[in-house]
Copies of this chain bind each other. A is one copy, B any other.
Amino acid sequence: MLSFTEENYLKALVELTVFDADSDEVGVNRLATCLEVKPATVSDMVRKLRNKSLVNYEKYGKVSLTSEGRLKGMMVIRRHRLWETFLSSKLGFSWDEVHELAEELEHIHSEKLINRLDEFLDFPEFDPHGDAIPNQKGEILLPFRRTLSEIEVGKRHRISAVRDQTEVLQYMDRIELKINQEVTIEHREAFDGLTTITYGNRTSVVSPKLTENIFVVCAECGKAKCSCK
């Protein structure tokens, strides 16, 4: 049985090497930043995870998940996203509240519990932030994703998902920017990336820090990779 901590390392590794598609391996420093611990701690821990055959790693090298590690990590994410869905759809929590709670609930191990919960929620495909929920086998829909910071000026897009971080969600709430909402980039400042967007009947100027955390699809065809217009 994996500890809380080990599960958090595997979860972070899935996020860094599976979801962020640039590379399927990651350095110790990057992982440390992501987990908010020091590199020294990560060095020790990945050695331990390697001894359990959960990651591939050797001294001074990059870290990547073994298939077992990937499965274990994926199951943590499955639990996280299912609990978020429960909190939101059954207990009426808002989307910016569920993340913190799910951080704790995701470590309840029982597979039977999580499968029953899945059934109780009617096998949801997406969590309240628009992210796909891995199935019982750890498989997940990994759509090609484009963020609001990448798309061209002028073309209508729709917000499909938002990175699951309390601050992002709260900020979006404050400026009344919602999931599934249509949004257009009016202007993007080359100098600092400040971006003017219109949506509903509002216009806001937002920073790259925000736009990098919002995923969009073409408003016409619904795809992230499209050739419309």
Chain A positions within 8 Å of B, measured between CB atoms, are 87, 90-93, 97, 101, 104-105, 108-110, 112-113, 116-117, 120
Q: How far is the CA of A116 from the CA of B87 in the complex (A)?
A: 9
Q: With the chains together, A108 CA to B91 CA distance in Å?
A: 15
Cα–Cα, bound, A113→B83 (Å): 12
Interface contact B104-A116, CB-CB below 8 Å: no
Which of B93, B105, B110, B112 is A116 in contact with, Cβ under 8 Å?
B93
**Cα–Cα distance between A104 and B1 once the two chains are bound (Å):** 14
A90 surroundings in chain B (CB, below 8 A): 120
CB distance from A12 to the nearest CB of B (A): 21
User: In whole Å, how far is A163's beta carbon from the nearest beta carbon of chain B?
Assistant: 22
With A and B bound together, what is the CA distance between A29 and B56 in angstroms? 47
In whole angstroms, what is the CA distance A8 to B105 when docked?
18
- CB-defined contacts of A92 to chain B, threshold 8 Å: 116
Docked pose: A97 CA to B110 CA in angstroms: 11
Q: Are B91 and A120 in contact (CB under 8 A)?
A: yes
Nearest CB on B from A104, distance (A): 5
List, in ascending order, chain B residues with CB within 8 A of A108's CB: 101, 104-105
Q: Which residues of B contact A97 (CB under 8 A)?
A: 112
Residue of B nearest to A109 (CB): B104
Apart from A101-B108, A104-B109: 15 A-B pairs, beta carbons within 8 A: A87-B113, A90-B120, A91-B113, A91-B116, A91-B117, A91-B120, A92-B116, A93-B116, A97-B112, A101-B110, A101-B113, A104-B108, A104-B110, A105-B105, A105-B108
